[in-house]
Amino acid sequence: MKSLFERGRAHLSLVEPRPDFSSVTTPAKAAALSDTGKLKRMLLVPVALGGEDADTNAAYVPPAVVVVQERLNETLRRYLSEGRIDNLSVDPEYKGKSLVPTRIRVSARKDGRAGEFTTVIGIW
């Protein structure tokens, strides 16, 4: 007799379900979740890559996303210092009225060169 896995009826997920941030629709709600450690304020484009520490360049995201973004920024800083990129685009995507992005799309390229470096950070 075949097991449930062999018959294709059982599903195993090692990925935790993503939280739902659809109710985070005001700066006060985002700040309250930040105070509890569930969200952190993160600069979309860090100062080291030409960004400003301003609300228009910030997003509230889960702490794990900050770690991913910091690693990505290290790579982008290295590419910039090596002359491999000279254009950077960081585009958050939102769902409904939530102030927490559902994903952040990061693209970097070098003028005059074909192709670009693109990655998407999924959040919720």
The pLDDT tens digits of the residues spanning 16-59 come to 677 899 999 999 999 999 999 999 999 999 999 999 999 999 99
Structure tokens at 19: 């939280």
Model pLDDT, residue 71: 95
Question: In this prediction, what percent of the chain has a pLDDT beyond 90?
Answer: 79
The answer, yes or no, to whether residue 13 has pLDDT greater than 60, is no
For residue 68, what are its two tokens? 């991913």
Task: Kindly indicate the confidence band of residue 2, based on its pLDDT and cuts at 50, 70 and 90.
Answer: very low
User: For residue 108, with 0-12 CB atoms within 10 Å meaning exposed, 13-18 middle and 19 or more buried, which class applies?
Assistant: buried
| Mean pLDDT in residue range 84-93 | 95
Q: Is the pLDDT of residue 105 over 80?
A: yes
Residue 75 predicted with pLDDT over 80: yes
Measured CA to CA in angstroms, residue 46 lies from 12, 51, 88, 96 at distances of 38, 5, 11, 26
Please name the helix (run of DSSP H) or strand (run of DSSP E) that holds residue 75, with its range, or none: helix 63-81
Residue 101 and residue 123 in contact, taking contact as beta carbons nearer than 8 Å:
yes
Whole-number Å distance between alpha carbons of 71 and 107? 15
